[in-house]
């Protein structure tokens, strides 16, 4: 059974810092992995999607990497801003399924 | 273009009552998903529709939960005899096809509170 874990559960950093959010999963037979952002009381916004054949994806100040063999992904945020404050969720989709299995998220607070 | 919309945004009901939650997917998206997110947790899968049929309902917690998508567009999640443990945010997502490579686009959710 696929399980997704995110560390840390919460993180508070001063503005301008580079930071890394971690995601691990127990079953390496994934089809893809996606990072989402969730603002309080809102739905999920897709940030980056990495296919199982890819090693990383980049969008602006965000970079996500995937090491399928070790069951790990990281989300790197460069030059953090207060507007980055949100909960970041990692989710994986296994081969042969259409549903995402989510981690419990990392609550990020960037202080001005 | 319009994203996934969900109504109502908030629903407060009493234990034992029946509720319906509605999801309007992005126009033309054939795949539709329901998830449930409890406080402090990540979303958990409930059910997946491809067109009008439920292709995977393995996440529905029990037979009090039922979902339909009669015309392959709008979907309704129905909960009978609600319990306090059903309180959560119910999220709907859609994707263009059933390809595993498709991103799922999420709606803002319906926050259900059972008193």
CA atoms of B12 and B9, how far apart (whole Å): 10
For residue range B81-101, what is the model confidence (pLDDT) as tens digits? Answer: 999 999 999 999 999 876 656
Tell whether A19 is within 8 A of chain B (Cβ).
no
Q: How many residues does chain A have?
A: 112
- Whole-angstrom distance, CA of residue B86 vs CA of residue A19: 36
pLDDT at B40 over 90: no
The angle formed by the CA atoms of residues A24, A29 and A30, to the nearest 5 degrees, is 65
Does pLDDT of A97 surpass 90? no
**CB-nearest partner of B42 from A31, A43, A103:** A103
Q: Write out pLDDT tens, residues B7-35.
A: 999 999 999 999 999 999 999 899 999 99
| A40 and B CB contact within 8 Å | no
Q: Which of B42, B56, B109 has its CB closest to that of A99?
A: B56
Write down the pLDDT at residue B99. 67
pLDDT (tens digit per residue) in A39-55: 987 889 999 999 999 99
Tell me if B45 and A99 make a contact (CB, 8 A cut-off): yes
pLDDT over threshold 90, residue A89: yes
B109–A43 C-beta distance less than 8 A:
yes
CB A1 within 8 A of CB A64: no
Q: Please tell me the predicted confidence (pLDDT) of residue A98.
A: 84
Res B1: pLDDT = 55
Backbone angles phi, psi at B27, to 5 degrees: -55, 130
pLDDT (tens digit, 9 = 90+) per residue, B54-72? 889 999 999 999 999 999 8
User: Which tens digits make up the pLDDT trace of B97-111?
Assistant: 766 567 889 999 999
Give the model's confidence band at A87: pLDDT under 50 very low, under 70 low, under 90 confident, else very high: very high
């Amino acid at each position: 059974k696929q399980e997704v874990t995110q560390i840390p559960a919460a993180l508070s950093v001063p503005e301008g810092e580079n930071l890394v959010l971690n995601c691990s999963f127990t079953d390496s037979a994934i089809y893809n992995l996606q990072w989402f952002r969730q603002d309080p009381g809102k739905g999920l916004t897709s940030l980056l999607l990495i296919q199982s054949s890819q090693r990383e994806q980049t969008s602006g100040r965000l970079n996500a990497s995937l090491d399928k063999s070790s069951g790990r992904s990281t989300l790197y945020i460069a030059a953090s801003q207060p507007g980055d404050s949100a909960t970041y969720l990692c989710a994986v989709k296994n081969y042969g399924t259409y549903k995402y299995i989510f981690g419990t998220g990392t609550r990020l607070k960037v202080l001005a | 273009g319009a994203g996934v919309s969900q109504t109502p945004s908030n629903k407060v009901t009493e234990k034992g009552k029946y509720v319906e939650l509605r999801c309007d997917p992005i126009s033309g998206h054939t795949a539709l998903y329901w998830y449930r997110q409890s406080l402090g947790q990540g979303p958990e899968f409930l059910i997946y529709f491809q067109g009008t049929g439920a292709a995977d309902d393995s996440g529905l917690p029990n037979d009090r939960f039922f979902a339909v998508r009669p015309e392959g567009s709008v979907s309704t999640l129905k909960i009978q005899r609600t319990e306090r443990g059903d309180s959560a945010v119910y999220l709907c997502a859609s994707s263009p096809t059933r390809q595993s490579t498709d991103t799922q686009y999420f709606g803002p959710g319906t926050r259900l509170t059972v008193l």
